[in-house]
Chains A and B, each alone.
Chain A
Amino acid sequence: MSAVIENHHDEHHHGPAKGLTRWLYTTNHKDIGTLYLWFSFAMFLIGGAMAMVIRAELFEPGMQIVEPEFYNQMITLHGLIMIFGGVMPAFVGLANWLVPMMIGAPDMALPRMNNLSFWILPFAFFVLLSSLFMEGGAPNFGWTFYAPLSTTYAPPSVTFFIFSVHIMGASSIMGAINVIVTIMNMRAPGITLMKMPLFVWSWLITAYLLIAVMPVLAGAVTMMLMDIHFGTSFFNAAGGGDPVLFQHIFWFFGHPEVYIMILPAFGIVSHIIETFARKPLFGYTSMVWAMLSIAILSFVVWAHHMFTVGMPLAAELFFMWATMLIAVPTGVKVFNWVTTMFKGSITYETPMLFACAFVVLFTIGGFSGLMLAIVPADFQYHDTYFVVAHFHYVLVPGAIFSIMAAVYYWIPKWTGNMYDERLGQLHFWLSFISVNVTFFPQHFIGLAGMPRRYPDYALQFADWNMVSTVGAFLFGVSQILFLFIVLKTVIGGKKATDQVWEGARGLEWTVASPAPYHTFSTPPKVD
């Protein structure tokens, strides 16, 4: 027994291994967090480049730079890469870095699986991207891949797409299991569930959502595979199958999926707002309950993506009402954030700017979401740019702003250096302005009647499309600045204190900056 303990003890004095093998073999949560974050940034740039192709084509009416079939490949890959390669791995990266430090654990509970769940991801995306060079081109049926466009009518590369979705799913499930096991078993004594930092709470709920719905996605793509190669007819009407069944299965995964992409953001923003308002978060308990109710409701609203498929009246009414209900817990969260700022003592460093923008712009996305829930009105909004505007408002200034806020907020802890505040502020203002220039006009374009996934459009939509494209390119360029700021911080900069931010609370701020390779080998005391 004592030998084992001895061994453990020894390891703590080894730093990270040298060279490439450090990253290939690592089981350290901080290293793996870093890998996830860099990987997601790379995907963000690739998916972003595709968005630029899309926006460039839409700059003016007429086909200018790509053909419609390539355009469809771009919208499909843009969506898949941003969701599965950009946002989700970024949140897993943050979970890896932060969850153990926030609960006073030495590492994730299942470190080897942690390594595996990261390293299969680059492989999945390599397969997905290589489909661009296959005969017939990459998947071209939209990220929602509705059958039978994605089965009977799909290019041959669909099989590779299915394979890569399976790998992404396996990676997410492993990541989720790891988070749950860590949180449930490795909290330092004294950290009861209702004392956990909100980011940890948000990830605990997210992880359960992931485990619940990723297998459903796997089931859907497997049924597609059977239809394509083994002669079944799950989704093929000619063989007695049901194309609408596909949509039910897909959105049973897809709706919880959108909360998977926003719950961790709720956690992040809560921490940042309380830190820079120098005031404890308002209504901690109600925040937890709100997240739980949002997560549970997310399982009974899926068909609000399908109001036009011809469901019976009773189903339409049920899904409308259930969807509207989500506004209640979401509202509670927004009110709590605003009240946290009330009577605070606020300063506006870059993370706080992003967090404030998050609250406002995410709420705007919430408003358009509420409008979309109203079935008769949705008959007019559905599958137009109004929907595109809505989900980009919750995903870009929502999820992605929260990720950027998190990077600015915790990077001093990760690297030991302060980022350049002036450049950070510049990055914020460029992003904030351009994101609105890009996506706000899309509300107009959609209401005026432009459907989504159109490579070309009627003349009355020309003006606002042009504005949107200009905004998109500005947003794209601003993110190069972000890359520069992060690199600059990694290389050097003003040394960060351990506390970093005056108002910061939580265990991660009690360890040194940069955080040592191993933290909390013995659990901290928490009262």
Chain B
Amino acid sequence: MLQILKRSINKLIITTSAFFVAIFSNNLNADWFALNMTRGSTAVSEEVFELHMLIFWICVVIGVIVFGVMFYSMWRFTKKKNPEPSDFHESTKLEIAWTVVPFLILIFMAIPASQTLIKIYDDEEGDINIHVTGYQWKWQYEYLEDDISFFSNLSTDLDEIYNLVPKGEFYLQEVDEPVVIPAGKRVRFLITANDVIHSWWVPDFAIKQDAIPGFVNTAWTVVDKPGIYRGKCTELCGKNHGFMPVVVKVVEQDEYDSWVNAKKEEAYKLAELTEKDWTAEELSARGEGVYQVNCVACHQVNGQGIPGIFPALAGSDIVMNDKERNIEILMEGVQGAAMNSFDYLSEVELAAVITYTRQAWGNAENGDGEIVLPKDIVDYKKPKI
């Protein structure tokens, strides 16, 4: 606590001075004109935008009238200008009028709102169906027709987040692998979550659906214009809630087809890798990457975890000496704890990350130092007799 306080005060001084520099230097690439909702890029998002503007202007008109009367009264009926107040304090006619008129206005708003909503809820099969799963703190996309599956992680560098290097144009809005969809096709998203509740939002499509463990919500879209569309997780999902963006890449059909083929090729290569004879170094090197993406959020870069919430892997007895239990934890997760199953990773990735944690931070020296091969994971997955 004290440390945080001290650090806070220091940083506050720095940021305050930064503010004045920013104001006067005027070289922020931020935007004073980012004021309104996006029109988006689909028929639905256009309609939602129009609806938003309609309600907004109705509110503005009502506001102008009500505040107009109020400000006029405040100016005209001061004690100086009107020393004798009237006793006018009841009028059934007025009360009825200002009950009925707003009611009519509301009906006028409710009609287009309900129509648009009914359109959004028109939920048929898509040409392409994609299963979207929220994880702490990344998204998984599975293409039901094509047997493609991958994760999408934030790709912004930690150094940018901690202000050590300048921030890029798409700071916090970029991922290692966007979800790709073809233009002009009806795409249906089946949205769920694996741990806590997340929410999948792409403003340009006017889609925001909560991703809830145990439920599958659906949303659909047809995007005509190829391009990159950026969105975010909008349901508080823990510490990296702000760091699990959504990026959708819309491409023409032929480009989409070749992307699908390339992804299938990749899966095939991975299967080959599982057969390969791995050395401890090769596995560790590969595992470090897997660890950075999947584990650091909780167990931290140095393997020390966060006391009281996430246990340290450095010096953990299981990690150093109990290969079987270690594999089991990764495959099954720990019931009732934030440690979820990672069985969706490939055999190679699993073997690599376990080997890495068994080798890193002095674990190899203090423990049995054994490595885990992709084959071990394949064996684990075989039905036990």
B22 to chain A, nearest CB (A): 7
Compute how far the CA of A321 lies from the CA of B98 in the bound complex, rounded to whole angstroms: 19
A243-B214, A342-B77, A461-B30 known; A133 vs B1 contact (CB < 8 Å)? yes
Could you tell me which residues of chain B, from 1 to 60, have a CB within 8 Å of some CB in chain A? 1, 4, 7-8, 11-12, 14-15, 18-19, 22, 28-32, 34-38, 47-48, 51-52, 55-56, 59
Compute how far the CA of A285 lies from the CA of B95 in the bound complex, rounded to whole angstroms: 10
Could you tell me which residues of chain A, from 422 to 458, have a CB within 8 Å of some CB in chain B? 444-445, 447-449, 451, 453-458
> Are A331 and B85 within 8 A (Cβ)?
no
B228 to chain A, nearest CB (A): 14
Query: Is B131 in contact with chain A by the CB < 8 A criterion?
Result: no
A478 to chain B, nearest CB (A): 18
> Are A317 and B117 within 8 A (Cβ)?
yes
> Are A379 and B240 within 8 A (Cβ)?
no
B30 to chain A, nearest CB (A): 4
Could you tell me which residues of chain A, from 321 to 339, have a CB within 8 Å of some CB in chain B? 321, 324-325, 327-328, 331-332, 334-335, 338-339
> Are A61 and B212 within 8 A (Cβ)?
no
Q: Which B residues touch A19, using CB under 8 A?
A: none
Could you tell me which residues of chain B, from 78 to 136, have a CB within 8 Å of some CB in chain A? 78-79, 82-91, 94-95, 98-99, 102-103, 106, 109-110, 113-114, 116-118, 120-121, 136
Compute how far the CA of A342 lies from the CA of B233 in the bound complex, rounded to whole angstroms: 48
A332 to chain B, nearest CB (A): 6
Count of A interface residues, CB-CB < 8 Å: 111
> Are A283 and B242 within 8 A (Cβ)?
no
Compute how far the CA of A448 lies from the CA of B36 in the bound complex, rounded to whole angstroms: 5
A136 to chain B, nearest CB (A): 4
Query: Is A359 in contact with chain B by the CB < 8 A criterion?
Result: yes
A61-B171, A149-B196 known; A332 vs B110 contact (CB < 8 Å)? no
Of B11, B22, B109, B213, the contact of A237 (CB 8 Å cutoff):
B213
> Are B79 and A364 within 8 A (Cβ)?
no
> Are B162 and A63 within 8 A (Cβ)?
yes
> Are B117 and A153 within 8 A (Cβ)?
no
Stretch in B140-148, B301-309, B314-322, B376-384 with 4+ CB within 8 Å of A: B301-309
Q: Which A residues touch B234, using CB under 8 A?
A: 308, 382-384, 451
Query: Is A34 in contact with chain B by the CB < 8 A criterion?
Result: no
> Are B306 and A451 within 8 A (Cβ)?
no
> Are A320 and B59 within 8 A (Cβ)?
no
Q: Which A residues touch B212, using CB under 8 A?
A: 237, 243-244, 309-310
- Type the 1/0 row for B135-158, where 1 means its CB is closer than 8 Å to any CB of A: 010000000000000000000000
- Type the 1/0 row for B226-239, where 1 means its CB is closer than 8 Å to any CB of A: 00000011111111
Of B11, B77, B238, the contact of A64 (CB 8 Å cutoff):
B11
> Are B109 and A324 within 8 A (Cβ)?
yes
Query: Is B271 in contact with chain A by the CB < 8 A criterion?
Result: no
Q: How large is the interface on B (under 10, 10 to 19, 20 to 34, 35 or more residues)?
A: 35 or more
> Are B83 and A345 within 8 A (Cβ)?
yes
Residue of B nearest to A134 (CB): B308
Compute how far the CA of A136 lies from the CA of B35 in the bound complex, rounded to whole angstroms: 38
Query: Is B296 in contact with chain A by the CB < 8 A criterion?
Result: no
A230 to chain B, nearest CB (A): 12
Query: Is B250 in contact with chain A by the CB < 8 A criterion?
Result: no
- Choose among A69, A237, A278 the residue with the greatest number of B CB atoms under 10 Å from its CB: A237
Query: Is B337 in contact with chain A by the CB < 8 A criterion?
Result: yes
> Are A374 and B51 within 8 A (Cβ)?
yes
A279-B85, A460-B31 known; A334 vs B90 contact (CB < 8 Å)? no
Query: Is A160 in contact with chain B by the CB < 8 A criterion?
Result: no
A467 to chain B, nearest CB (A): 9
> Are B113 and A374 within 8 A (Cβ)?
yes
> Are A364 and B28 within 8 A (Cβ)?
no
Query: Is B362 in contact with chain A by the CB < 8 A criterion?
Result: no
Could you tell me which residues of chain A, from 229 to 253, have a CB within 8 Å of some CB in chain B? 237-238, 241-244
Of A60, A308, A325, the contact of B209 (CB 8 Å cutoff):
A308
Query: Is B356 in contact with chain A by the CB < 8 A criterion?
Result: no
A308-B199, A332-B95 known; A376 vs B162 contact (CB < 8 Å)? no
> Are B197 and A346 within 8 A (Cβ)?
no
A153-B195, A338-B70, A346-B79 known; A64 vs B15 contact (CB < 8 Å)? yes
Q: Which B residues touch A451, using CB under 8 A?
A: 201, 232-234, 242
> Are B66 and A66 within 8 A (Cβ)?
no
> Are B106 and A328 within 8 A (Cβ)?
yes
> Are A153 and B338 within 8 A (Cβ)?
yes
Residue of A nearest to B161 (CB): A63
Query: Is B262 in contact with chain A by the CB < 8 A criterion?
Result: no
Residue of B nearest to A341 (CB): B73
Query: Is B243 in contact with chain A by the CB < 8 A criterion?
Result: yes
> Are A238 and B217 within 8 A (Cβ)?
no
Compute how far the CA of A321 lies from the CA of B113 in the bound complex, rounded to whole angstroms: 10
> Are A449 and B232 within 8 A (Cβ)?
yes
> Are B197 and A146 within 8 A (Cβ)?
yes
> Are A343 and B85 within 8 A (Cβ)?
yes
Compute how far the CA of A142 lies from the CA of B56 in the bound complex, rounded to whole angstroms: 29
> Are A459 and B37 within 8 A (Cβ)?
no
> Are B70 and A65 within 8 A (Cβ)?
no
A370 to chain B, nearest CB (A): 7
> Are B88 and A282 within 8 A (Cβ)?
yes
A56-B8, A72-B239, A338-B66 known; A447 vs B98 contact (CB < 8 Å)? no
- Choose among A146, A335, A367, A453 the residue with the greatest number of B CB atoms under 10 Å from its CB: A335
A62-B162, A280-B87, A382-B208 known; A458 vs B171 contact (CB < 8 Å)? yes
Query: Is A521 in contact with chain B by the CB < 8 A criterion?
Result: no
Compute how far the CA of A363 lies from the CA of B70 in the bound complex, rounded to whole angstroms: 12
Q: Which A residues touch B47, using CB under 8 A?
A: 376
Query: Is B63 in contact with chain A by the CB < 8 A criterion?
Result: yes
> Are A466 and B19 within 8 A (Cβ)?
yes
B177 to chain A, nearest CB (A): 19
Compute how far the CA of A284 lies from the CA of B95 in the bound complex, rounded to whole angstroms: 11
Residues of A that sit less than 8 Å from B by CB: 53, 56, 59-70, 72, 132-137, 140-142, 146, 148-149, 152-153, 155-156, 237-238, 241-244, 277-286, 308-310, 313, 316-317, 320-321, 324-325, 327-328, 331-332, 334-335, 338-348, 356, 359-360, 363-364, 367, 370-371, 374-377, 379-380, 382-384, 444-445, 447-449, 451, 453-464, 466, 470
- Could you list 8 further interchain pairs (A-B, Cβ under 8 angstroms) beyond the known A68-B242, A136-B306? A56-B11, A69-B306, A72-B236, A280-B87, A283-B89, A310-B217, A346-B77, A470-B19
Q: Please name 6 pairs of A and B residues whose Cβ atoms are closer than 8 Å in the assembled complex, sorted by A.
A: A64-B163, A153-B238, A310-B217, A335-B98, A340-B89, A367-B63
* A-B interface, 4 closest residue pairs, ranked by CB to CB distance from nearest: A237-B214, A135-B308, A136-B308, A462-B30
